Amino acid sequence: MLESTIAGSLPKPDWLAEPEKLWAPWRFQGEALTLAQERAAAEWIKHQEDAGIDIVTNGEQFRIHFVHGFLEHITGIDWDKKTAMGIRDNRYTVQVPTVTGPVSRAKSVHLDEVRFSRARTDRKLKFTLPGPMTICDTIADDHYGRRGDMAMAFAEILNNEARELEASGVDVIQFDEPAFNVFMEDVKEWGIDALHRACEGLKCTTAVHICYGYGIDENLRWKDTLGREWRQYEEIFPALNASRIGQVSLECAGSHVPLSLMGLLKDKDVLVGSVEVTAARVEDPAEVAATIRSAMRHVDAERLYPCTNCGMVPIPYEVALGKIKSLAAGASLVRDSL
Ligand SMILES: [Zn+2]
């Protein structure tokens, strides 16, 4: 009960890529890069095991960004045709590549790193993939015309990828959909249908992660505009509760999300963000335990998985390490008291 896990990403060590930066360029190329990524992933798996995290990830050490790391291997995308795009409903502008033809996957994107990670741990292994809606909000479209159509094309590719990863021993496949918190009407119109397509036929645990973003300035400024209560989840959780996705990963610690909204997910496992992902400080285990106990007023302990609010790639390595230790220790404090 109260198995701990993390949203997905962890910081890259400074010898692998420039720290505390999104899309940080690699410090190696070719085979040397693969070996360096493997070393970084092995270290993070060990750190999570030592901390007492129950469901581990490889910290996304093999990808440059949670969306583009997947897209790099997909054909139908012109990486030289950059389009300025105000992503997450114009929260920040990024030069993104452009879809110029039908998208397809020539071979598995993540299979090698999953095999490597699976061989490094006996714990349950979670693997994250970008969700179809969030992909479509992080790439420009010069081919499909309708976002829902492009999402369905990506969902089919994601499904083929997910099936291969499941066959290689992944226990949980999570789709990251921060865009679900921005385009709530689209979630109900086609977002969940696209997720269902991405999960089709999977027998492993499936999850969707929906957050208010990394602990970076652009997001922190956006959060300041959201008012005293953040009620975005209220619009989409009823539809998600009725969906075929097994788990929902949400932001809780230090946020203005009313805790009662977790009560809308009464048929799902809930991954409760119990540490913040900002660089400012490391919560102590008692504080983490208090967050978990507050969430337990709305989610049965059997369905509650203490987790991080979001990925931790942009924060300092040592801060993230402290946070996973506190997360596991806080979960253990609550477990021992039950
Ligand atoms: Zn997130």
What's the 311 CA to ligand 1 centre distance in angstroms? 5
Which strands sit side by side in the sheet containing 74-86, from one edge to the other?
74-86, 92-105, 140-141
Distance (Å) of CA 242 to CA 155, 170, 236, 237, 334: 19, 25, 10, 8, 29
- Tokens 């999850």 belong to 207
Nearest to 54 by CA among 245, 205, 208, 233: 205
Q: What is the mean pLDDT of residues 57-66?
A: 96
Mean pLDDT of the chain: 96
What's the 264 CA to ligand 1 centre distance in angstroms? 20
pLDDT of 132? 98
Region of residue 213 (left: phi > 0; alpha: psi -120 to 50; beta: else):
left
pLDDT of 159? 98
pLDDT of 219? 85
Q: What is the mean pLDDT of residues 263-290?
A: 97
CA distance 204 to 206: 6
CA distance 187 to 259: 21
What's the 8 CA to ligand 1 centre distance in angstroms? 8
pLDDT single digits (tens) 208-256: 999 998 888 888 888 889 899 999 999 999 999 999 999 999 999 999 9
What's the 195 CA to ligand 1 centre distance in angstroms? 16
User: What per-residue string of b and e applies to 57-73 under the rule 16 or more CB within 10 Å gives b?
Assistant: bbbbbbbbbbbbbbbee
pLDDT of 280? 86
Q: And the tokens for 89? A: 């409903």
Give the residues across from 164 on adjacent strands: none
205: number of Cβ within 10 Å: 18
Q: What is the mean pLDDT of residues 50-78?
A: 96
Q: pLDDT band at residue 301, thresholds of 50, 70 and 90?
A: very high
Nearest to 195 by CA among 234, 151, 237: 151
pLDDT of 36? 98
What's the 250 CA to ligand 1 centre distance in angstroms? 8
What's the 66 CA to ligand 1 centre distance in angstroms? 10
What's the 179 CA to ligand 1 centre distance in angstroms? 10
Q: pLDDT band at residue 313, thresholds of 50, 70 and 90?
A: very high
CA distance 268 to 271: 9
pLDDT of 220? 87
Q: Which residues surround ligand 1, an ion (CB under 5 A)?
A: 211, 310
What's the 109 CA to ligand 1 centre distance in angstroms? 21
Nearest to 22 by CA among 96, 98, 112: 96
User: What per-residue string of b and e applies to 302-320 under the rule 16 or more CB within 10 Å gives b?
Assistant: ebbbbbbbbbbbbbebebb
Asked if residue 287 has pLDDT above 90, the reply is yes
CA distance 206 to 188: 19
Q: What is the mean pLDDT of residues 299-319?
A: 97
pLDDT of 162? 98
What's the 34 CA to ligand 1 centre distance in angstroms? 25
Q: Which domains does the chain have, with CATH numbers?
A: 30-337 (3.20.20.210)
What's the 291 CA to ligand 1 centre distance in angstroms? 18
CA distance 82 to 91: 18
What's the 64 CA to ligand 1 centre distance in angstroms? 16
pLDDT single digits (tens) 81-93: 999 999 888 888 8
pLDDT single digits (tens) 125-147: 999 999 999 999 999 999 999 99
What's the 123 CA to ligand 1 centre distance in angstroms? 23
What's the 308 CA to ligand 1 centre distance in angstroms? 9
What's the 313 CA to ligand 1 centre distance in angstroms? 10
Phi, psi (deg, nearest 5) at residue 300 = -60, 145
What's the 79 CA to ligand 1 centre distance in angstroms? 25
For 140-169, give the DSSP string.
EESS--SHHHHHHHHHHHHHHHHHHHHHTT
What's the 107 CA to ligand 1 centre distance in angstroms? 27
Contact 308, 325 (CB under 8 A): no
Q: What is the mean pLDDT of residues 93-122?
A: 96
CA torsion 323-282-224-59 (nearest 10°) is: -20
What's the 215 CA to ligand 1 centre distance in angstroms? 9
Contact 240, 268 (CB under 8 A): yes
Q: pLDDT band at residue 10, thresholds of 50, 70 and 90?
A: very high
Running DSSP on this structure, what letter comes out for residue 17? B
Q: Three-state DSSP class for 302?
A: helix
Task: Give the amino acid at 229.
Answer: E
Predicted structure pTM score:
0.97
Q: pLDDT band at residue 163, thresholds of 50, 70 and 90?
A: very high
What's the 187 CA to ligand 1 centre distance in angstroms? 16
Give the residues across from 55 on adjacent strands: 5, 124
Q: Three-state DSSP class for 263?
A: helix
pLDDT of 152? 98
What's the 44 CA to ligand 1 centre distance in angstroms? 19
- Tokens 């788990």 belong to 247
